[in-house]
Amino acid sequence: MKTIIALFAAATCVTTVAMAASSTDTDFATKAAQAGMAEVAAGKVAESKGASASVKAFGKRMVADHTKAGDELKKVADKSGVSLPASPSPEQQQVNQRLEGMQGADFDRAYSQQMVKDHEEAVALFKNEASAGSDANLKAFAQKTLPTLEQHLKMAQALPEGVQSKAH
């Protein structure tokens, strides 16, 4: 009888962990991880190819902040039983390749516009998880990280031609 109770308790624990992260939570974690990796990659390009000091500094900040957030997301995802991707999405990789092929003012303009677009999407993604997420760990991560992403969006809009991304 004790064996049956122990097995039932173990099965309940496994079921609880598996159910903690819904498909919406898993989708959030996947997209957040990919976006973070894409920001780090693009930030490194900005540090080396940016023409303006503000673009170079913003790129450096993206590398630092998104590396930190990515490390934290890995820990949170592990607790929630969510596997994260190892690289940005193919679309994000294409954007980074396009940016790598640019330089000077053209790079600054394209990077600034991409950062506004990316951070608008990230803010929306994190707001949704922060308000509607069902996994407590991922929801708390989204709530904690959202103000930083909102700050990044404002910073991106202040970059050369960054605000103009909204018109495109």
Spell out the domain ranges in the chain.
21-167
Q: Which residue has the tokens 């929801």?
A: 139
The lowest-confidence range among 63-67, 96-100, 102-106, 116-120 is: 102-106
Q: Is the pTM of this model over 0.85?
A: no
For the cut 80, the answer to whether the pLDDT of residue 13 exceeds it is no
Say how far apart CA 141 and CA 29 lie, in whole Å.
10
Query: How far from 79 is each of 41, 48, 82, 137, 141, CA to CA, in Å?
Result: 26, 36, 8, 8, 12
pLDDT band of residue 22 (cuts 50, 70, 90) is confident
Of 29, 31, 21, 62, nearest to 141 by C-alpha is: 29
Q: How confident is the model at residue 21 (pLDDT cuts 50, 70, 90)?
A: confident
**CATH architecture of residue range(s) 21-167:** Up-down Bundle (1.20)
The DSSP code for 165 is G
Give the per-residue pLDDT at 167.
39
Alpha-helical (H) ranges within 21-135 are: 23-49, 53-80, 90-100, 104-132
- Mean pLDDT, to the nearest integer, of 141-158? 97
